[in-house]
Amino acid sequence: MAVLVYNPFKRLNFSNNTCFLTGNIIENPEVHNYVFPIWLMQHYQLNEKPFKLLDESIATYQDMKIPMSEEVQTSSDLLESKIANAFLSGYDAVCNLPELDLFQWIAKLVYGILYNELEIGIKQQQRAGEPLILSEALKHRFTNLHLMLQSLVRPVEFETGIPWSYEIFKVDNATDHFNYRDEINTLTFSLSMKDFGIIACLQDNGANSKYHQEVLSKVAGSTIHPIQYEEICGRFYYSNYLFNRLPEYTVLTTDEAIYLEAMPLHGMSNKPLFDHWQNKPFCQVLENFWKPWGFNIFEIQKDPENPMSFLFDTEGKLLALDKIAQPN
């Protein structure tokens, strides 16, 4: 008989006495696990730093918590130990992490933030005397992410490969640099620290990496400037917004494992996987990603057909670090 898999999105169950992953009752609901791991908050002194939520309210990094059973806590601690060792070592160690470990860590972090956002939304709607309503598309996407996170505590077989895009870059970051960003609705993630940067689209079956293959092939093996990394981030965030499929997965649960098989993306529709790229909204994305360098939208889109870029020269070759005359 197949083991039933907990799905909190059926009843929008986000109570503090229920484990976020298994649904098991927690004996001591006052004990919560931090969404951002202690090792990361301590290394970059993030505890009291502000974290902006979707409703425009401000929390701190240490305010972000999630209820976790002892079983999940044990698995999470083992994962955090591996991730911390790699992340604090730098680019080479991060590249050598098993793909599933990296997926689990990123997915756990993004889901933890989502959990806090939903918890706040539910409370706000309760005060207004109304239920929180999520679109069916978001429920579908979040349910699949939660299902994939089950791999933290039970065997999950991804029959057609890990259902995400992710890229790791070697970046010439400042020693104390740390930057986290996400877009919950599209499940897009980026993090830069030490000498590396990561970009991930958590539910696209690898489509975004294929979409940007030309850029990625020119960047591969090179150390890039932070402004170049942020430009690539902007490209991924914008393309994942243009991604017009809602991936479907066939799911088989048994006593031994959960088996997930991705359905072909092209089989869902005759139209291209991505909507038409438009420079104007992309330039608005770039303005946000380039805030540390002070560029405004008017400078970025001065030539609407050829927006400002720091990636390639006139011959299409990657701009070297010493050719980028911008402040660090």
Instruction: Tell me the pLDDT tens digit for each residue of 81-121.
Output: 999 999 999 999 999 999 999 999 999 999 999 999 999 88
Average pLDDT of the segment spanning 231-242: 98
Q: What's the confidence (pLDDT) of residue 323?
A: 84
CB atoms closer than 10 angstroms to residue 99 = 12
Q: What's the confidence (pLDDT) of residue 194?
A: 98
Do 229 and 325 contact (CB within 8 A), yes or no? no
Q: What's the confidence (pLDDT) of residue 57?
A: 86
Report the C-alpha gap between 251 and 315 in whole angstroms. 47
Q: What's the confidence (pLDDT) of residue 3?
A: 66
* 192 compared with 125, residue with greater pLDDT: 192
Q: What's the confidence (pLDDT) of residue 328?
A: 46
Q: What is the pLDDT of residues 264-309, one digit of tens each?
A: 998 767 899 999 999 999 999 999 999 999 999 999 999 999 999 9
Given its phi and psi angles, is residue 13 left (phi above 0), alpha (psi -120 to 50 degrees) or beta? Answer: beta
Q: What is the pLDDT of residues 62-75, one digit of tens each?
A: 999 999 999 999 99
Statement: residue 327 has pLDDT above 70 = no
Do 191 and 180 contact (CB within 8 A), yes or no? yes
Q: What's the confidence (pLDDT) of residue 176?
A: 95
Statement: residue 47 has pLDDT above 80 = yes
Determine which helix (DSSP H) or strand (DSSP E) holds 107, and give its type and residue range.
helix 99-127
Statement: residue 326 has pLDDT above 70 = no
Closest by Cα among 270, 283, 14 to 125 = 14
**Is the pTM here over 0.85, yes or no?**
yes
Average per-residue pLDDT for the chain = 93
